[in-house]
């Protein structure tokens, strides 16, 4: 049975979308959603461009508020920014929550998004696999 992961950030426009796409593309046996505690309502154009270049962009990726996923069942919730970690809501069903923080590339050049992509790939994915026993 596939394990479910939620990536939680503040704006749900960069880091969480990148992490969601990577888990869905590269972690066999797991699928991911993402959301924001204060969702921006948009995917950062550089994040979308990067995921398109990497061949892992899906049109269903979008910025969404926590209320849209709070009742879903997850095996793991990962906060990727300090604000989300501090304000992470309690989920109705007991779920493991871990924090793996990344600097926000929003407002920076495309190279910052590429660096964030690589950092998430090298740091977050191994931790997710370990936590899920994959």
User: If you average pLDDT over residues 19-44, what whole number do you get?
Assistant: 94
Give residue 90's pLDDT.
Answer: 65
Give residue 85's pLDDT.
Answer: 62
* pLDDT tens, residue by residue, 47-81: 999 999 999 999 999 999 888 888 889 999 998 88
Write the burial class of residue 109 (CB in 10 Å: 0-12 exposed, 13-18 middle, 19+ buried): exposed
| Structural domains in the chain (count) | 1
The question of whether 14 is a catalytic residue gets the answer no
User: If you average pLDDT over residues 10-27, what whole number do you get?
Assistant: 95
Residues in the chain: 134
Q: How far is CA 116 from CA 72, 90, 122, in A?
A: 27, 27, 10
Domain span at 76: 3-132
Catalytic-labelled residue, pool 23, 81, 84, 132: 81
pLDDT value at 127 more than 90: yes
Give residue 48's pLDDT.
Answer: 97
- pLDDT tier, 84 (very low <50, low <70, confident <90, very high otherwise): low
Write the burial class of residue 14 (CB in 10 Å: 0-12 exposed, 13-18 middle, 19+ buried): buried
CATH code of 41's domain = 3.40.50.2300
Give residue 71's pLDDT.
Answer: 85
Catalytic-labelled residue, pool 6, 9, 78, 120: 9
The question of whether 9 is a catalytic residue gets the answer yes
Give residue 132's pLDDT.
Answer: 96
> What crossing angle do the helices spanning 15-26 and 125-132 adopt, rounded to 10°?
60
What percentage of residues in the chain have a pLDDT greater than 90? 69
Catalytic-labelled residue, pool 25, 69, 88, 98: 88
């Amino acid at each position: 049975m596939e394990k479910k992961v939620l990536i939680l950030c503040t704006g749900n426009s960069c880091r969480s979308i990148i992490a969601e796409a990577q888990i869905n593309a590269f972690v066999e046996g797991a699928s991911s959603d993402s959301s924001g505690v204060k969702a921006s309502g948009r995917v950062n154009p550089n994040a979308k461009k990067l995921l398109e270049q990497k061949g892992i962009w899906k049109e269903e990726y979008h910025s969404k508020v926590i209320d849209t996923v709070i009742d879903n069942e997850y095996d793991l919730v990962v906060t990727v920014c300090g604000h989300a970690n501090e304000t992470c809501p309690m989920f109705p069903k007991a779920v493991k929550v871990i924090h793996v923080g990344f600097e926000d590339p929003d407002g920076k050049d495309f190279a910052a998004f590429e660096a964030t992509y690589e950092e998430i790939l090298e740091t977050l994915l191994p931790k997710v696999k370990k936590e899920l026993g994959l």
